[in-house]
């Protein structure tokens, strides 16, 4: 059990290190890049909502 806990905490530490390393986007953030990323977020949000709707509908049906 302690081995699993140690492995998990090591993984979390590693993920945090990665998050710190890539905290700041290195691409030049022009208005076009920002607009593309906003549209992409909205697109993915709609897709995820559609998938959740389908999942719920399948479970109910």
Partner 1 sequence: MREAVATSAKVRMGLPATLFYRFRKSVKALRTFAAIAGPGIIVMVADNDAGGITTYTTTGAKYGDHLLWFLILLGPVAYFVQEMTVRLGAVTKRGHAEAIFHGFGAFWGWFSLLDLVLIDWLTMITEFIGMTAAMSIFGVPPWVTVIACWLLMGSMVLSGSYWTWEKIALVLCVGNLIYIPAAFMVHPSASEILHNGLVPHWPPGGLTNELFFLLMANIGTTIAPWMLFFQQSSVVDKGLKEQDIKFGKLDTAIGSVLTVVVATFLIVVSARLLSGRPVESAAQAALEIMPVNKYVGTIIAIGLFDAGLLGAICISLASSWAFGEIFGWAHSLNQNIREAPWFYAYYFLDLVLAGAVVLIPKAPLVLITLFVQVIATTLLPAALVFLILLLNDKKTMGRYRNNTWQNVANISIVLVIIILSTLYGITTLFPEVLQ
The answer to the question of residue 36 lying near partner 1 (CB under 8 A) is: yes
The answer to the question of residue 22 lying near partner 1 (CB under 8 A) is: yes
The answer to the question of residue 47 lying near partner 1 (CB under 8 A) is: yes
In degrees, rounded to 5, the angle at the alpha carbon of residue 25 between the alpha carbons of residues 21 and 29 is 165
The answer to the question of residue 48 lying near partner 1 (CB under 8 A) is: yes
Using CB under 8 A, pick the residue from 12, 13, 18, 56 that binds partner 1.
18
Query: Which residues have CB under 8 Å from 33's CB, separation 6+?
Result: 27
Nearest of 52, 27, 48, 47 to residue 37 by alpha carbon? 27
Closest separation between CB of residue 9 and partner 1, Å? 16
């Amino acid at each position: 059990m302690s081995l699993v806990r140690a492995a998990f905490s090591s993984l979390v530490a590693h993920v945090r290190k990665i998050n710190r390393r890539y905290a700041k986007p290195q691409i030049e953030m022009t208005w076009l890049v920002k607009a593309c990323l906003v549209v992409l977020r909205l697109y993915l949000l709609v897709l995820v909502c559609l998938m959740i709707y389908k999942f719920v509908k399948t479970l109910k049906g």
